[in-house]
Amino acid sequence: MANNFRNGSSHRSSLTKTDRPLSVNSNAKGAVKSKPLPASGLRKSSPASLGSAAAAAAAKDDAGVLGRVRVAVRLRSRNEEEMVADADFADCVELQPELKRLKLRKNNWDTDTYEFDEVLTEFASQKRVYEVVAKPVVESVLDGYNGTIMAYGQTGTGKTYTLGRLGEEDKASRGIMVRAMEDILADVSLETDSLTVSYLQLYMEAIQDLLDPSNDNISIVEDPKTGDVSLPGATVVEIKDQQSFMELLRIGEANRFAANTKLNTTSSRSHAILMVHVKRSLEGRDIAHSSENGNGTQMVKTLKPPIVRKGKLVVVDLAGSERIDKSGSEGHTLEEAKSINLSLSALGKCINALAEGSSHVPVRDSKLTRLLRDSFGGTARTSLVVTIGPSPRHRGETASTIMFGQRAMKVENMLKLKEEFDYKSLSRRLDIQLDKLIVENERKQKTFEDEIERITIEAQNRISEAERNYEDALEKERLKYQKDYMESIKKLEEKWIMNQQKQGSERIMAGSKDDSSDVASNGKDSMASVVEELAEVKKLLLKETQSRKAAEGEVNNLKSQVAQWKRSEASGNTEILKLREMLEDETQQKNKLEGEIAILQSQLLQLSFEADETSKRLDKGGSANGPGSLDSLRTEVRNQQPKDSGNGEKASIAKLFEQVGLHKILSLLEAEDTDVQIHAVKVVANLASEELNQAKIVEAGGLSSLLMLLRTSEDETIHRVAAGAIANLAMNETNQELIMAQGGIRLLSMTAANAEDPQTLRMIAGAIANLCGNDKLQTKLRGEGGIKALLGMVRCGHPDVLAQVARGIANFAKCESRAATQGTKTGKSLLIEDGALSWIVQNANNGASIIRRHIELALCHLAQHEVNAKDMITGGALWELVRISQDCSREDIRTLAHRTLTSSPGFRAEISRLRIER
């Protein structure tokens, strides 16, 4: 029947708060036939497993939380057709919700019992389904984890009703999508947080955009480091309210493919995938704190950037599995059913491999499994609801659905918090703080300058006033003293005149008295008068002296005041210097902050540039699609990837080599697509295993391309296969010199230091071991770190790696022995100088025969030269040589050890001293 678009009658929905979340760390309860599930444990998956990159990263992250996939089963009630057709038959399913148990009727007397995390009857409400299945996942997404909610079941059992019911007429019938968005919008702040949605469908193995039907071939991009899956070509819509989200669901449901079948009138013909990205900023991590100190408030600011948590919610409405004979599909609908069943089968194989702990998970068999690689065995918290019907006619499909859920319960994910620093927000905050600091510094500087000017003017005014007061006081004292002096002189002159006049009148009145008596009397009187005048002058001079001393005291007082003002001025200058020093400190702090902001801005610019470059590389496409183009060649390499072993594989490789050509295959080693590089390097490695092709590969530049892959690629598989190809090429002596000349040892050593996979280390150790067998390259190989690289790989402890390390040491010791015998080498062994002797002695009696044989041979070669004897004796090698000479299973090695002990004077002396029996 021809396909038509769904008319929007059924839609997706979201959720509300719950009381009974499914605990991530709760014990597993699901069982098949009442048998408990195995204990939870972190499963080591291969690089090809679902979520392998994320699982490997989580295994190294101490913050990871182990969480099993949670599975709930929901029973649909009988529909009208089943009530009529199956009226005489009992339901094939019996539920025991209180025990979380389900019984599947095999016949009238026998049933199988299964346990799930939740058992939901046909009477369970949509709210109840949301609370036990979806709400714990939504809460994890809001906390910064990835989450997946998926519905699986036969066509017509209620998957779309459970997930995508809009409930516009009856809110109680809203499905998980609508209720989930309600809870998310209630918890986020749209001012600081971001909420975006993409809505897609996987139809006939093509990813189509339900919000933009013209975008019908969206590619999947996988991060090689983290394993995260993204769809860069999908439409991304920012959600602001519930109404806009409902409108997007209506548009998507209208564009989704549906068809009328015997099992369902509106059967979904595609897998619908709703992706909700939540980006939340954690406030309060870098807010400035203030502390009061009595004089003011001191601001203590931190430069820690704010933290952003990113969570991704994936809601998957799988198309129903169906049998062709029951659904009645034909024509194009039949092709759709085949595509649906193939993708569901691929998903079941992946879950089976994860549940059984298989080393290989076929994640690349379908685009559905690639999209869900993080949901099963990855870092997402996953809840699965399996929907079943009660009809005994569909007992086979019901049993298959139940077994799918049981296997899914055995899958364990490693939940990992998605956090990163918001450097852009920090840069904006620092810019604001810088502007505030600049304004504050300018304000303080202006206040400081104004205060200095005020203090200077006040000091100058005080000094000027003191100087004026001093000058006025001195002038007054001078005038006073001058006036007193003039008055004293005038008084003395008047007294002297009066005395002269008095003496003249006394001489006239005396007359004629006896001159002699008169002269004596007048002399006496004159002397008395002079004595009195002198006494009075002395009093005046004493008074003048006292006045002068008082004036001098006043002058000294004024001088002390002037000195005090000068000291005040000096104190003011000191305070000015302190304020200037504080200003310089503030300026230095400001310059330091500006430097730190410049560094952060340069880092942000670099991050932005790298992001732009990455985006350009992702958007860049091929230039041709013809038969001879690179895209066509990539398709050929993918299609011609060896699938069989033995002769079939070699035949396939040879056919590809003849059809495509070596140069085109080598050109694919530089492709941008990692998958293409992996397939191409595998082809080159298989070609290099045959000696006939090795010279052609080297002439065409294949060796340089392989070394370039070791230098530039970060993919572990590429490293492993490229190292294996180099190991094959290193079996040829000419190629060995080329590998050394192009820095091959350094590249192999760096790759070994970063590798963890035992198979990768085995390939690298094999390549170095082949190079160790070349006499001409001994010194250069050791100088470029070849011996230390071999010894560093013993940390792995894997027997295959240790065997290759032992082979390399044996080859190196053999070449040294040959060179010393020929006289081209003198001095102690390079192996002993690099510290290999202790490991050799420890593994000389290793339980693995291949490791022991190489180590025994290396000891015998080292012991052939007397210069090594002292170190070997002190290192305990003598006892191992004695054991080898007596107990070694190989006669040639036993004979060589015996001959060495006999011919070495140092060993003979030590054996004699210790009285060792041989």
Question: Which residue ranges are tagged as binding site?
Answer: 153-160
What is d(CA 562, CA 470) in angstroms, rounded to the nearest whole number? 9
Instruction: Give the residue ranges of the annotated binding site for ATP.
Output: 153-160
What is d(CA 401, CA 351) in angstroms, rounded to the nearest whole number? 13
Rg (C-alpha) for the chain, rounded Å, is 51
Question: 22 with 133: CB under 8 angstroms?
Answer: yes
Strand partners, 91: none
Q: How many residues are listed for the chain in this entry?
A: 918
Strand partners, 88: none
Residues with Cβ within 8 Å of 149's Cβ and at least 6 positions away in sequence, in order, are: 133, 134, 137, 163, 176, 180, 313, 314, 315, 316, 382, 383, 385
Q: Which two tokens stand for residue 764?
A: 């690298």
Q: Which two tokens stand for residue 503?
A: 């003496």
Helices 733-741 & 702-712 angle (0-180, nearest 10): 40
What is d(CA 808, CA 802) in angstroms, rounded to the nearest whole number? 10
What is d(CA 521, CA 29) in angstroms, rounded to the nearest whole number? 156
User: SS3 of 21, please?
Assistant: coil
Question: 10 with 168: CB under 8 angstroms?
Answer: no
CA 573 to chain centre: 55
Burial of 478 (0-12, 13-18, 19+ CB in 10 A): exposed
Residues with Cβ within 8 Å of 912's Cβ and at least 6 positions away in sequence, in order, are: none
Number of neighbours of residue 417 by Cβ within 10 angstroms = 17
736's enclosing H/E stretch is helix 733-741
What is d(CA 371, CA 51) in angstroms, rounded to the nearest whole number? 10
Q: Residue 652's closest CA among 643, 663, 660?
A: 643
User: SS3 of 205, please?
Assistant: coil
Strand partners, 17: none
Q: Which two tokens stand for residue 870?
A: 């002292």
Map tokens 């070449």 to a residue. Answer: 815
